[in-house]
Chain A
Amino acid sequence: MAMNSDAELPGPGAGPGSGGAEESADDERLACGRLLSEVWEAREGGSDDPDTDRDRAPDRDPHLRTCPHCAAAVRQLDLLGVAVREAGGGRESEWDAGALTERVMDVVRLELRPGRPLPLGEREEDLWVREAMAAKALRAAAETVPGVRAGSCRIRPAESGGSPSRGPVRVRLEVVVPLTPRLRDLAEEVRRRVRGAADDALGLPVDHVDVHITDVTEPAGADPDDPAGTEEGNQP
């Protein structure tokens, strides 16, 4: 269990530590120099400006009307937006453009930086899951423990061998946890939920889960009895 006090936590949308976080800006920049996210937001009609409706935004920026790269990007993103909305299966009855955009961009990000393929199921099967998606699921599982925030999550074959290896994987997850006298129990609970998600959500055979506590936060000041970690072991 490693501890240090100045850990940097990536935001929830940031990469799972699969390596190319720094290239992201370039990856999402179109040939014309625009960022994909800017183009998409303009298409959405400038959600920070309530006076702007969808159709007016491109008028203020002639480039968006004439640039073939932006036009292609908008067309693709529209298609993807429709697909993502349909995938919601009516769970989001309210059209929430912000949430939809975030989910579309999440798909875009994972497509740009999918990470390595990891084996799903049995050794002799030819089924895979991308590391970025698996890491997203495991980080989310860790964060179901109250107060825990997941940072970098790296997933590697536990055994070296052919590439890509079909064996079970080793997970290395960094977390920031609330201050509790039972850090070991808390880490164990994180490990248990990560293993659970690997099994129940993915079907990813896991050999080992390393939980690294990179920082400890004070429980919320307003509520000194904050039940973070009460689940097991709040006793001194």
Chain B
Amino acid sequence: MTAAATGRDALAGTVARVAAGVPGVAFLRPGLVDLFRSSARTAPQGAEGRTPAGVRVSRASGAGPWEVDVQIVVRRGHHALTVARAVRDAVGAALTESAPGAQVTVTVANAV
């Protein structure tokens, strides 16, 4: 389980890095919601070292394709669809080796 979790975290880290570097992306969805949710209330200091809040990586089975969910905040003045497509393509390209066939979902959460 730890190995699987490590693989998932590495994948999420790659996704976060690639997505954040796409032009028009201001940052990934910040994890502020965690401050208000019950899990965070018992451990408010646990903010460091987690998977970035804007990335969720999962797979239905050990052999199935990865499902990658990226939530981004775009820079004001950028076309949301264009940026979302660029993120999808960049993430897909970055995962061709480590997670071939990954299914990438991109959600634009906000603009700043």
Contact = CB atoms under 8 A, between A and B. Distances in A.
B80 A120 contact: yes
Contacts of A117: 107
Contact of B35 (A73, A88, A120, A137): A73
B31 A76 contact: yes
A130 interface: yes
A72 B75 contact: no
Interface string B46-90: 010000000000000000000000000101100111101100100
Interface residues of B, number: 34
Using C-beta atoms within 8 Å of the partner chain, give the interface range for chain A.
35 or more
Q: DSSP majority for the B interface?
A: mixed
B110 A69 contact: no
Nearest to B77: A201
A203 B79 contact: yes
B73 A87 contact: yes
Interface in B10-34: 26-27, 29-33
Given A76-B35, A83-B27, A103-B112, A129 B79 contact: no
Contacts of B44: 31, 68-69, 71-72
A89 interface: yes
A133 B109 contact: yes
Contacts of A83: 26-27, 30
Interface of B: 26-27, 29-33, 35-36, 40-41, 44-45, 47, 73, 75-76, 79-82, 84-85, 88, 103-112
14 contacts: A30-B35, A69-B35, A69-B44, A76-B32, A76-B35, A83-B27, A87-B27, A120-B81, A120-B108, A125-B88, A127-B84, A128-B107, A203-B81, A203-B84
